[in-house]
Amino acid sequence: MTVQTVRVGNVVLGEGRPKVIVPITGATADEILAAASTAISHEIDILEWRIDFFEGALDSGAVTSLAGQLAARLNGRPVLATFRTADEGGEKRIGVQDYVDLNLALIASGQVNAVDVEFFRGSDAVHTIIAAAHAQEMAVIASNHDFDATPPVGEIVSRLRAMQDMGADVAKLACTPHDVGDLLTLLSATWQMSVRYADHPIITMSMGRLGMLSRMTGAFFGSAATFGMVGRASAPGQIPVEDLNRILKLIGEWAPTGCCFRGCC
């Protein structure tokens, strides 16, 4: 299928090489700003601010203020704002309305370039956040994280399609493998989604050491981006960004013409 590209700041998802996203996970403003400065000294495309690690995460005023400081520190590098809830592996619990209000405040601030919205927060919450972001011409990544298992191929594809149908610009799914077969399930689902149903970019990964291969080669199967780490990992199996870039470049040099690493999938 023809995939519509998605712009996150000055980065375009869905064309060219897989984009590298690096999360920062500091607890204090000083830690977050220092981590951001360190991250952008590396070869990365998008910085993900994991707001749930921030000690002021439940105070929308503190969050938007720090978002402005972060934007000023990054010299134009795009920011993906993510409050990962405890239900999906994050650091904090938050009520649905507070979750919506926090995301709406970030969108209204204009200090971030994209927001992550958890697909299972409920359709009303998801639709509200997507509508507000699109009114500001801001991209939305809908996401789902399964830290217990890997769903069957059909279920993975179904969730990704549902995210797309709800209006998300990017559909993201991460799951946990218990054997190599689970890794293959995730990659197979990614391929099926990308060639049969995806009209926007998708991002998938299999977590932990067993799933590490998906972070390196996911683009072959249709995943538009991968997550690396600078310092502290935010999810199991993230690879140091220097190693990840080295691997991606090596694979890209040897990839056959027409594969995703050439931007033609």
Taking the alpha carbons at both ends of the chain, their separation in whole angstroms is: 9
Was 48 annotated as part of a binding site?
yes
- Residue 262 and residue 92: Cα distance in Å, rounded? 39
Of the candidates 145, 178, 200, 249, the residue annotated as catalytic is 145
Whether 249 is catalytic? no
How far are the Cα atoms of 19, 34, 63, 163, 170 from residue 4, in angstroms, in the given order? Answer: 16, 35, 31, 15, 10
Was 111 annotated as part of a binding site?
no
- Residue 178 and residue 143: Cα distance in Å, rounded? 21
Q: What are phi and psi of 175, to 5 degrees?
A: -145, 170
Whether 92 is catalytic? no
3-state helix, strand, coil in the chain (%, to 5): 45, 20, 35
- Residue 105 and residue 168: Cα distance in Å, rounded? 19
Was 232 annotated as part of a binding site?
no
Was 31 annotated as part of a binding site?
no
Was 4 annotated as part of a binding site?
no
**Torsion sign across C-alpha atoms 112, 25, 231, 221:** negative
- Residue 262 and residue 99: Cα distance in Å, rounded? 38
Of the candidates 127, 172, 178, 200, the residue annotated as catalytic is 172
Give the annotated binding-site residues.
Answer: 48-50, 84, 215, 234, 238
Binding residues for 3-dehydroquinate: 48-50, 84, 215, 234, 238
Catalytic positions are 145, 172
